Structure 1
Amino acid sequence: MWMPGDRLPSRAQLAQECGVTDGVVRRAQEALIAQGVLEGRAGSGTYVAQRRERVRITRSPRRERADGSPFAADVAEAGMRGTWESRTDGMVPAPPGIAARLGIAEGDYCVRTTYEFLADDKPVQISTSWEPYDITAGSLVMLPEAGPLAGKGVVRRMADIGITVTRAVERPEPGHANAEEAHLLGIQRGSLVTRIQRTYYSDDGRPVETADIVVPAGLGEIVYEVPVSP
């Protein structure tokens, strides 16, 4: 019996032992990888996956107002350590879809930041954030992950330059991981994911940031917390 972390025999060996074709073994392994039972490692083989807890990712106004990372708070509640890696590119021309969401002209400059969110050093969520360059240009908060408010989030950073963020609009929809997403998240290509389009708006109705968030169904449980007036 194989234990978590064990390396499986080659597909050819498994096919011979089970009396099936290599294609049958390949499809079975892909299905088990998608379910999180197995994990593939490039250049190394297929292994029995270590048990991973699903992280509850809470979407709520309360967490958005908090000083710090809502993701880190979610992961901490699951008894894990939340961290993230990021890369920011300044003055990136806005593609058509992003420009429409931000209410700017196609090709206008944006600050683009890509994130990989980790729970106990394992990826559970990725996102790409876009902010209009002219909003933060020249300020200390132009780079989301640098400066005095690094990692404090859009709401806190915008407040520092006199912009009050009053609402966020999110549009979740189911999908399947493409090759790049699967590679970053350590999942099988085609695995079920939830994609969230999120846009922050200031009190005068201007979009100040928009992001594409990807959460694998097997790694994250998305919960929406809706305030109710008494």
Structure 2
Amino acid sequence: MADRQEAGYLRVAQAIRDRIADGTWPPGHKLPNRPALAAEYGVGENTVRQALETLLAEGLLESFRGRGRGTFVRAPHERHILPRTWTPIAAPGRLGLTPAGSPTSVEAESTAKVPAPAPIAARLGIAEGGLCVRTEYEVLADVRCVLTATSWEPYALTKGTPVVLPEGGPLAGRGVVERMAQIGITVARVTEVPRPVQLDRETAQLLGTTPGAQAVRIERTHYDTGGRPVETADILVPAERWDITYDLPLATVPRT
């Protein structure tokens, strides 16, 4: 039985490869859903899932969740510039990383009173399990997710204020600097630590790439004038698609 199942998924995978190779399914083509493929090839949906996972791992297909979801024939990815901007502006630039050249939007969801895991608590200088407001971001270009971010703010800083939820209230969607200024906190500096990581299956699917693909995780933390952390975030950018470019303005040095 196991041998027949293995042969089945290999047969389905090869049939899809053939359609891609002969141009029947060109780059960008959306594949039928699993039940339709299972019916076409006379196999079970689990066999189809194995075949699709094999082709995803080979880089022939890409899969997306959310808006524009589905499995597609993967086109060769061109690398693009992802500029890092510093001005705190409204969406979609509030994360400071905005793809150029495509219609861009941000989907976000905030949750209050979330216990901080140990690494986040250490970055915020609070006790492990301390309550935070967590906000999950997805930056979309051409309705596909191109990067994600998870932001954490100590709940004690903003509770009972109009800016407790970054994506709600009068300053919904504004940057950390502007929101904190509304409640009398001046953000003086931000640190960013880029780290190479590999994407897990769920995040890879969200970003339309393969599990284990390389990404850059930017660990960003905002500090107030007293050196207190007021927000920290993990921003994930697929390394195969984007070159993160920092353009640092320098103050003019007066001549003597």
Shorter-chain TM-score tier: 0.7 to 0.9
Cα distance in 2 between the residues matched to 1:146 and 1:45: 30
Larger RCO of the pair (alpha carbons < 8 Å, separation 6+): 1
Cα distance in 1 between the residues matched to 2:91 and 2:229: 21
Q: Tell me the CA shift for residue 32 of structure 1.
A: 2.2
Secondary structure, aligned partner of 2:98: helix
Match of 1:155 among 174, 177, 180: 177
RMSD (Å) for aligned C-alpha atoms: 3.1
1:30 aligns to what? 57
Tell me, yes or no, if the aligned pair for 2:59 and 2:210 is still in contact at 8 Å: no
1:6 aligns to what? 29
Secondary structure, aligned partner of 1:64: coil
Cα distance in 2 between the residues matched to 1:201 and 1:155: 10
Tell me, yes or no, if the aligned pair for 1:110 and 1:132 is still in contact at 8 Å: yes
Find out whether 1:74 has 2:120 as its counterpart.
Answer: no
Instruction: Give, as a single letter, the amino acid of the residue that structure 1 aligns with 2:59.
Output: L
| Percent pairwise identity | 47
1:133 aligns to what? 155
Cα distance in 2 between the residues matched to 1:45 and 1:88: 26
Instruction: List gaps (5 residues or longer) in structure 1.
Output: 11-22
* Change in CA separation of 1:226 and 1:193 when aligned onto 2, cut-off 3 Å: same
Secondary structure, aligned partner of 2:59: helix
TM-score (norm 2): 0.71
Find out whether 1:213 has 2:242 as its counterpart.
Answer: no
Find out whether 1:64 has 2:87 as its counterpart.
Answer: yes
* Change in CA separation of 1:89 and 1:32 when aligned onto 2, cut-off 3 Å: same
1:13 aligns to what? none
* Change in CA separation of 1:8 and 1:227 when aligned onto 2, cut-off 3 Å: same
Match of 1:39 among 58, 62, 68: 62
- Point out the structure with max Rg over C-alpha: 2
**Equivalenced residues, count:** 210
1:193 aligns to what? 215
Instruction: List gaps (5 residues or longer) in structure 2.
Output: 1-21, 38-49
Tell me, yes or no, if the aligned pair for 2:134 and 2:152 is still in contact at 8 Å: yes
Secondary structure, aligned partner of 2:121: helix
